[in-house]
Structure 1
Amino acid sequence: MMLNGEKKIERPLRWAMVGGGRLSQVGYKHRTGALRDNTAFQLVAGAFDIDPARGKEFGINLGVASDRCYEDYETMFEEEAKREDGIEAVSIATPNGTHYDITKAALEAGLHVICEKPLFFTTEEGLEIKALAEEKGKIVGVTYGFSGNQMLLQMRAMIEKGDIGEIRMVELQYTHGFNATDEADKYSDAQKWRVDPKIAGPSFVLGDLSTHTYYMSQLILPNMKIKKLLCDRQSFISSRAPLEDNAYVLMHYENGAVGRLWTSSVNAGCMDGHRIRIVGSKASLEWWDSKPGELSYEIQGQPAQTLIRAMPYLDETCHADERLGALHVEGLSDAWANIYLKFAIAMDAKNRGDQETLDNLVYPDIDAGIEGIRWIEHCVRSADQGAVWVDFKYEQETQFI
């Protein structure tokens, strides 16, 4: 049964944003995701901009009451806590280096949190925030927006049923060419911080692009764990060093499968190089972001098939996120709406103590965010040691070296 806007929770959650203002590259994605189902969230407050006046004007233009457009997140959390109708959840759409402090403050204020990726700089910070969220009884979600494309759930279901056999190879790519020169580094505020280690952290494209694709591979292959990896990264625009604008990652999985990921923002001429190919012993599956409603299914010795979104032959888990029906194109805004709806369901379930719903809900949670941090840490450690193989530690807390 497809989604049609009927409520999934008793009432919409009162929601705010930190960041995501007029100059933001991601703010509208958050809002179109959260507000697509007006039964999930209602935007009632915000600290939208580092410039308070500009942020207030912007918030008013979104329909937020002027007295709930705040100059900073500390003031917003303090003032909203005094209101009977105060906010219950907040999205953090700010540069990477601010995520930890804002998330911690939000949880301490009793709020559910939705945060941009990469979540924090270190696994240790992630584990600390996870413990705090558990103590406060709150949800922390991560906006891996592409993961809301329902054909990824189709891949997951087919692999789980054994349709492609034993997994042998995992091919991942997220590349574009928009930073093939240093022009944006000089003139775009949104790009400047992404190549500043103090704000972006120890990586550029590994954190900014490939954490999306890495999480999507985990969603598709939830039972596969990495045994070791090797990362080779480059700064083709030398001023970006030590941060990379191109990287290759080789991965060996515990089940014997091998993986390869290419991430780049200097793939000149490339408009959309986001793809996932899973190769099994019997068949292969491939998904491209440029055609999100299609899934290539190639069985050895048979004609290639293209599975189409919304068709009755797909798995029920895929249909559960369907919005527009066959013949009508869905895309990234629908994917964001899917994950935001699941954030709302998770928050409502947490509020009610409904652990069964939480256990069965597939969405990018705090554990997914921590795993993304851990993966970046291992990539950076491998690259900085000269592109060597490093054992992948799941339980051991690691620090950037």
Structure 2
Amino acid sequence: MFNEESHLAAPIRWGMVGGGRGSEIGYAHRASAARDRFFALTAGAFDLDAARGREFGRDLGLDPERCYADYQSLFAQEAQRDDGIQAVSIATPNSTHYAISKAALEAGLHVICEKPLTFTCAEAQELADLAKARHKLFAVMYGYSGFPMLHQARAMIEQGLLGDIRIVTMQFAHGFHSAPIEEHSPGAKWRMNPAISGPTYVLGDLGTHTYYLMEMLTGLEVDELCCMRQSFIQSRAPLEDNAHVMFKFKTGAVGTLWASSVNAGSMHQQKIRVIGSKASIEWWDEHPNQLRYEIQGQPAQLLDRGMPYLLKNDAICSRIGGGHAEGFFEAWANLYHRFAMAIDAFERADQAMLDTLWYPDVQAGMNGVRWLEACVESADQGAKWVKF
């Protein structure tokens, strides 16, 4: 069970770029970071409209003087304060991640960035090198990876309960963009604009989540992949609203991933199934408190979060007893809890702690960018197999 008595000597002074009024993701960051009192929101640059951003920050209870017009002012002016921010979360459109992350690291801040991390592997590598040089945390917000039953699945795979991993099937296929809603939805519109979203839409917006879950659960490394993508709403071209990816892993295992926003009638349909020589497991984000476990020759089992029969693992962090539903905000709070522990370890130069602490780090973000580049390369060559 989660220990609510754990604490830091003082909350981490924390700021945000983006995530202003009406932003669901901005609210998710703030609510999750505040859950365990490890972070204290003290400043931000919330909106491209400076007056609106200042008003929003004031409504959140911040000093209006610490609600800045842009991220450059935020970083520069907070650096002059004895009580300036120590960390920043970046909840802005994809095209801005590289520049804001670089400026934050150069300002001596720990960084938590939305995915995809950057547009190119070269940019991601530059940020990773800078974070290492400045000895700062650089985390990527793969929010679904905070669900406890995924860590149960990871532990089961690590302990060999599935045997040799043979097949992984992944999907994240909702139906909310099966019509051209971007005509009246600003949030959808920028996701379908290559200048802002980057070279992909559903692969970068949806597929990267499930791809990271595959890496986290199995540790498999991709050898080759083949990608086919479509724009069923023609105005979205060259960005895809549907894509299929096939994988060959270095171990000889194989896999598939389906990412789509035109799966009409579907709510989310984010699932990952890992098939081994002895057994299989399957997790579905619409039922995140359960893990389906199927051993060959035995009845299927449905494992529930918070129960004593689960494996003991420090990342399997239930916040309430079994039978009560935990969800999206608890998963994000689990990640922010780990980000805080990592930031504290960075500040204390506790490398031993950092070596044993799991969280979605900059390498996870780099792998996601690398995967997107390979998918685009394959699709642009007519679904050709490409080396990863």
What TM bracket, shorter-length normalisation?
Answer: over 0.9
Partner Cα separation in structure 1 for residue 9 and residue 225 of structure 2: 45
Residue 29 of structure 1 aligns with which residue? 28
1:318 is displaced (CA, Å) by 6.0
Amino acid at match of 2:83: D
Partner Cα separation in structure 2 for residue 318 and residue 239 of structure 1: 47
Residue 180 of structure 1 aligns with which residue? 178
Does residue 282 (structure 1) correspond to residue 281 (structure 2)? The answer is no
Structure 1 counterpart of 2:344, from 348, 362, 382: 348
Q: 1:319 to 1:81 in 2, by over 3 A?
A: closer
* Structure 2: gaps of 5 or more residues: none
Q: Percent of counterpart pairs with the same letter?
A: 57
State TM-score, norm by structure 2: 0.98
Does residue 14 (structure 1) correspond to residue 16 (structure 2)? The answer is no
Structure 2 counterpart of 1:219, from 207, 211, 216: 216
3-state secondary structure, aligned to 2:336 = helix
* Structure 1: gaps of 5 or more residues: 393-401
* Residues 315-356 of structure 1: per-residue CA shift (max 9 Å, x gap): 221674111111211001000001111111111111111111
Residue 188 of structure 2 aligns with which residue? 191
Amino acid at match of 1:66: P
Residue 395 of structure 1 aligns with which residue? none
1:359 is displaced (CA, Å) by 1.2
3-state secondary structure, aligned to 1:210 = helix
Assess if the C-alpha contact under 8 Å between 1:166 and 1:280 holds in 2: yes
Q: Map 1:2-401; keep pairs closer than 5 Å.
A: 2-38=1-37, 40-183=38-181, 185-222=182-219, 224-317=220-313, 320-392=316-388
Partner Cα separation in structure 2 for residue 248 and residue 339 of structure 1: 29
The number of residue pairs the alignment matches comes to 388
Assess if the C-alpha contact under 8 Å between 2:151 and 2:316 holds in 1: no
Partner Cα separation in structure 2 for residue 320 and residue 261 of structure 1: 26
1:6 is displaced (CA, Å) by 2.1
Assess if the C-alpha contact under 8 Å between 1:153 and 1:318 holds in 2: no
What is the RMSD of the two structures over their aligned residues, measured on CA atoms?
Answer: 1.0
Assess if the C-alpha contact under 8 Å between 1:151 and 1:309 holds in 2: yes
State TM-score, norm by structure 1: 0.95
Assess if the C-alpha contact under 8 Å between 1:47 and 1:55 holds in 2: yes
3-state secondary structure, aligned to 1:14 = strand
* Residues 265-286 of structure 1: per-residue CA shift (max 9 Å, x gap): 0000001201010001111000
1:163 is displaced (CA, Å) by 0.7
1:23 is displaced (CA, Å) by 2.8
Partner Cα separation in structure 1 for residue 316 and residue 167 of structure 2: 28
Residue 399 of structure 1 aligns with which residue? none
Assess if the C-alpha contact under 8 Å between 2:152 and 2:316 holds in 1: no
1:245 is displaced (CA, Å) by 0.4
Assess if the C-alpha contact under 8 Å between 1:230 and 1:379 holds in 2: yes
Assess if the C-alpha contact under 8 Å between 2:143 and 2:335 holds in 1: yes
1:357 is displaced (CA, Å) by 1.2
Which stretch has the larger CA shift, 140-149 or 354-363? Answer: 354-363
Partner Cα separation in structure 2 for residue 120 and residue 320 of structure 1: 30
1:9 is displaced (CA, Å) by 2.8
Partner Cα separation in structure 1 for residue 141 and residue 362 of structure 2: 11
Partner Cα separation in structure 1 for residue 381 and residue 146 of structure 2: 35
